[in-house]
Amino acid sequence: MKKIIKNKSGFTIVELLISISIIGMVSVLFYNNYRATSRQNVLAAASHQLAGDFRAVQGYASGAKKNNGSVPKGGWGIYLATTSANYIIFTDDDESKDYNVVSELYRSVDLPVNVHVDKIEVTKWDGTPVVGSSTVSTVFLPPDPKTYITTDYRSDSTDNVLRLWLKDSINQTTRTILVNYFGLIDVQ
């Protein structure tokens, strides 16, 4: 009798394990890259939201938007503090060019989870630093609107420039927002 030998083709267990491990490694790399990109998008969206709120407040001032039946005498503003996970939109009713906690709150806006104000820097138009920048109020006063940038040490000049950094504490990335004394608002 003749024996017929059939050639069996297929994967060995070693080949199968190697293929599964390669697919697993590629999946892990893809997932990590996806999460990092997603966090960058959250930070970008938060910085554009804040810049949009600066523009909206600027529009409130130039359009004489009313709050509680009257136009705020001192204009409209945004208050920020370092390490804060929110910012305040306010009406400058007492004309101090700074946020008054007791009576001027219009709306508080929360930043996304793990995003916070990392650093605030206020300089004169020529780059000279203004002392004290852990809090800042930016007030737009109609009709121009004039832009007042006031730090915690009361430098409420109309020639200040504000740079603030939003930071994502998970992957340690930042975005910079610039507000200058002309009212230009830019995300860098």
- The DSSP secondary structure of 141-185, one letter per residue, reads ETTTTEEEEEETT----TTEEEEEEEEETTTTEEEEEEE-TT--E
pLDDT of residue 181 exceeding 90:
no
Confidence band, pLDDT 50/70/90 cuts, at residue 185: very high
Give 124's pLDDT tier (boundaries 50, 70, 90): confident
Mean pLDDT of 105-120: 94
Nearest residue to 150 via CA among 17, 141, 165, 142: 141
Top-confidence residue, 30 or 122: 122
Residue 156: what pLDDT?
Answer: 58
From CA 155, how far away is CA 133, in angstroms rounded? 10
Q: Is 22 exposed, middle or buried (0-12, 13-18, 19+ CB in 10 A)?
A: exposed
Give strand pairing partners of 167. 116, 174
Bridge partner list, 90: 77, 105
Q: Is 10 strand, coil or helix?
A: coil
Residue 89's pLDDT is: 96
What does the alpha-carbon distance between residue 65 and residue 144 come to, in Å, rounded to a whole number? 14
pLDDT of residue 144: 73
Strongest mean pLDDT among 36-40, 55-59, 95-99 = 55-59
Check: CB of residue 148 under 8 Å from CB of residue 162: no
Cα gap 176→46, rounded to integer Å: 11
Give the three-state DSSP class for 61.
helix
